[in-house]
Amino acid sequence: PPLPGTGQQRAHWVTRDTLAWPRDLLPTGADPADLTWSLFHAPTGGLALTDGVVSGGDGLPLTYDPAGLPAAVTDEFPALTGYVALSVDGDAAADLLTGQLSVLQSGDDGASAWTGVQVPGVIDDLYAQAADDADLGITWHGGDPTFALWAPTAKDVDLLLWTAGTSGEPQRVQAERSADGVWRVTGDDAWKGAAYRYDVSVYVPATDEVEHNVVTDPYSVALTTNSTHSVVIDLDDPSTQPALWADTRAPLVEKAVDRTIYELHVRDFSIKDTTVPADERGTYLAFARDSAGTRHLRELAAAGLNTVHLLPTFDIATIAEKKADQATPDCDLASYGPAATEQQACVAAVADRDGFNWGYDPFHYQAPEGSYAVDPEGASRVSEFRTMVGALHATGLQVVLDEVFNHTSASGQADTSVLDKVVPGYYHRLNAVGGIETSTCCQNVATEHALAGKLMVDSVVLWAKQYKVDGFRFDLMGHHSKQNLLDVRAALDELTLAKDGVDGKKIYLYGEGWNFGEVANNALFTQATQGQLGGTGIGTFSDRLRDAVRGGGPFDENPRVQGFGSGGYTDPNGDAVNGTQAEQLTRAQHDADLVRLGLAGNLKDYAFTTSDGQTRTGSQIDYNGQPAGYADEPDEVITYVDAHDNETLWDSLTMKLPQATTMSDRIRMNTLSLATTALAQTPSFWHAGADMLRSKSLDRNSYNSGDWFNAIDWTGADNGFGHGLPPAADNEAKWPYQKPLLEDAALKPTAAQVATASDQALDLLRARSSSRLFRLGSAAAIEQKVTFPGSGTDAAPGVVVMSIDDTVGTDADPALDGALVVFNAGTNAVTQEVPALAGRAYALSPVQAEGSDAVVRATTWDAGSGTVTVPARTVAVLVEEQDDDGGPDPTPTATPTPTATPTPKPTHPHPTPKPTHTKPGHPTPKPTHTKHPKPTPKPTHKPGKPHLSLSLGSVRAGGTLHVEGGGFTPGERVQVWLHSEPVLLVAADADASGELDVEATIPVSTPVGAHRLVVTGLSSGLSAQAPLRVLAADDPDALGATGFGPVIGVVAALALLTGAVALVVARRRPGSIG
């Protein structure tokens, strides 16, 4: 039989002079001092062991070290604690690493073990320090590109260059190796736009051959269609920088706890939106259109949403990037019943070939995904991605990117393997026998290895600096070390506005701090998990409040376990899984404690009286055998009740509430559940569409379920419920629960009911943004000001009362002395006495008093007794205005009610003009910024009387003009649109006087003729317009319209748009047209 270790990699070369040998390969009872070891090496492979004799290579003696592995080694590799230490002459290590390596163990009875060698440790020891500062990928110097690929174990590297399409033979350029393991080529400016690959000649243990691995650049920033080749581009080239992106500053989010985050998938956003031109649906460019989706985003932003989190947008391996190559289901999906099996079968048949995937399949970390681009070729996808970022910024929304550094889509010699083809055996995390770990789902990346960690840091910095994104969410962040995240944080902190155009210290980081897999419990390093990031300002998703609100957990076999937001104890669904009435009460009271703790930031040291009558800190409250509270500060927690994973909130409530629950009551429970995140002291996180009752037809894992189960209808006409039974692969076991629900027509909301839910959700955002009391920002302030009256053994089931007292400690809100929030999840009105607040002048918040929900207006407050009464299934926000020494009472700074977008509905569903995207071959001209003459000084205008003036009455396509306006709400974001077919040009914030002063670039593709420039305040809904004539870019009579010659200033008519006065007070419904 083969010797132990054969066909595996059990030995670990950890430093240039140290190998670690597993004790379980020692013969039973053997003393290591009585054994010998040899390291065999073969430059091109072919080592063989026959009858205890090695052939095909040379041996190098290893020496047993009775002192064991040095502490520095076991600190870095804790899994190797207890291994036998073997010393090796490391002078030849660099050479040996380029070929096959195996270790033979022998004793008096001959050979006793034979195994391969894992080499990441010694590679880092030899190269990491020198390569740490290397600029990998392409860098530019004086217009010439330098290519750099880190491949320390390669025997040779050539750059393959295609300057005229990729069908012919490439130019082959020899790369030169440096001592840091980097292979470099210096090119010239004629290579710009060329396609390239590397030919890496490297020994591959899996094939036992020296392979010529022809691969794309792991640091690619642009790619050909379907990512077959890397593309030479300069991200600083103006042709890749659309004016909307270059000229629009990101909106300000002052503190991390101010964040209200909306998790959105690029394709879901617009793939079914008929108000977007057909060729732009499902793409980056859809975000720059005046569409049902962008109107909804504007409405959310006006109410207080400030961040959009995009599911993976880096280059992924699983979607064909040519639309024509994307398969579609071969059946009439809408023709089947609401609980039929046919839809999921049709979707599943093409699921791996269609245009949809969540995107957690990394291919290239530094290039935008091509399937989301109208033109995926080369620099076009870069420009289109930047257009999206600019459009979101112009809408008042910061942008967070979802990063997946914990795994790749493939490894080894697979077609979509890159890293493992460049440095075999280095980038992926190997188990004890040399197999790649897959606990994440796929091929785990070992970011604890120095250059894998560098790739993570370099990629994040590139997206921040070159795309102006504002935050990063890390998938399965617990599979990274805490040090990885600290390295990312430190690198971002070095970015400055003056040097890099970005204030890196303002960039927020958060992720999934789950603790599982081979890294669990700090087995390999100190993980970036819940409770281990105290003081870093890095957030983790909290499953504590999530599960307490929804009920049960995401992996329950029976999905009918109820929670605080789904009727636990107060509205039992009758399923035996919930236990006896006494058990239901116990669970409901504990769930309410978890909600209280979550509202207070899920802090480990925050204390209150819990349902067992004890005063406990967060870390003393139980969550499935773990401390519930784990955060030092509130910005270390993301509070959420649904995300792309697992069922949507609406679907979860559908399965848990009694089936007979009325639609109006279901909507109220949806609102109440969202309120637990919106009114928490942490960053608040909503899954896109949660405010609109989004359903995925009960699908618990829609990562590959196609557009049919995932697309969002922003009009509210179809919330996604009743699209058939969800795909069998992840849902079939729950079909018996799901079928009767999907068949019940009363459980599918109408567009009007979706609008009701949306309006209630908007009021939650307004309430959150109306006062700093909901975002105190520190554990000290929360512990001082936030209490939960009525908690303890006698707490009313399904009720949480939260008091935020601004009369103690530093004044957080100069307009208020306090806020009192009551969450009543029960089926009846509830009266709660708060004796400590007797005599206080609380009243329903103006946001709710003037808001969309008539029911909440029945809330009453009796100051004499300190008693508050709140209707059933309602969250009520009461505030006490601060008495300003006898002067007029200040009012809460509620965000003004948004109004209908003033841009008219396009008369044609497929407008010709594109957003400010320009293809690399036809860059938008960047005119010399000779200052345009300023318009004649304008008279003072009253607030609410918007006005607009332009520096030019006519302008060449591709030219710029100066735009001034006023009459807007101070500080609100004001968008500048070019009509008649709406194109978003730029946005800026009105100053303290409500004035706008900005330059706008007219897209080079704009048709010649009469147009209008329209400026719109996002919060106020106020708008003004002025006529503008666009001339041909090469018009010889257009000198005065370029900014380079004499200019006649034109002051526009300063009238409100027709109907604008009515729009100021009107409420918008989803999908409404201004």
Task: Measure the CA–CA gap between 337 and 333, rounded to whole angstroms.
Answer: 9
Which amino acid is it at 461? V
- Strand pairing of 230-231 and 954-956? unpaired
Q: What is the DSSP string of 156-198?
A: EEEEEEESS-SSSPPEEEE-EE-TTSEEEEE--GGGTT-EEEE
b/e sequence 1021-1032, b meaning 16+ C-beta within 10 Å: bbbbbbebebbe
Q: What HEC string does 421-479 produce? A: HHCCCCCECECCCCCECCCCCCEEECCCCHHHHHHHHHHHHHHHHHHCCCEEEECCHHH
> DSSP assignment, residue 373?
S
Q: Do the beta carbons of residue 720 and residue 268 sit within 8 Å?
A: no
User: Are 592 and 800 in contact, with CB atoms under 8 Å apart?
Assistant: yes
Q: Is 166 exposed, middle or buried (0-12, 13-18, 19+ CB in 10 A)?
A: middle
C-beta of residue 585 within 8 angstroms of C-beta of residue 570: no
Residue 255: strand, helix, or coil: coil
Pairing of strands 144-150, 84-87: unpaired
Exposed/middle/buried for residue 249 (C-beta within 10 Å: 0-12, 13-18, 19+): middle
Instruction: Report DSSP letters for 939-972, one per residue.
Output: PP--TT--EEEES-SEEETT-EEEEEEE-SPTT-
| Distance from C-alpha of 695 to C-alpha of 723, rounded to nearest angstrom | 9
The residue written with tokens 């697979």 in the block is 414
CA-closest candidate to residue 45, choices 420, 429, 424: 424
In which element (H, E) is residue 210 found?
strand 209-215
Burial 883-921 (b: 16+ CB within 10 A, else e): eeeeeeeeebebbbbbbbbbbbebeeeebebbbbbbbbe
User: Taking the alpha carbons of 308, 309, 315, 320 in that order, is the dihedral positive or negative?
Assistant: negative
CA distance linking residue 587 with residue 547, whole number of Å? 12
Q: Are strands 260-264 and 684-687 parallel, antiparallel or unpaired?
A: parallel
Residue whose tokens read 């859809």: 286
Question: Has 180 been annotated as catalytic?
Answer: no
Q: Determine contact, residues 778/739, Cβ cutoff 8 Å.
A: no
Cα distance between the two ends of the chain: 79
869: enclosing H helix or E strand:
strand 867-870
398 to 250, 471, 851: CA distances (angstroms): 6, 8, 26
Q: Is 833 a catalytic residue?
A: no
* Catalytic residue, candidates 475, 591, 635, 763: 475
Q: Give the number of other Cβ atoms within 10 Å of residue 67's Cβ.
A: 6
Cβ 961 vs Cβ 951: under 8 Å = yes
Q: Which of 392, 298, 394, 290 is nearest to 904 (CA)?
A: 290
- In the set 512, 636, 691, 759, the catalytic residue is 512
Catalytic machinery residues: 475, 512
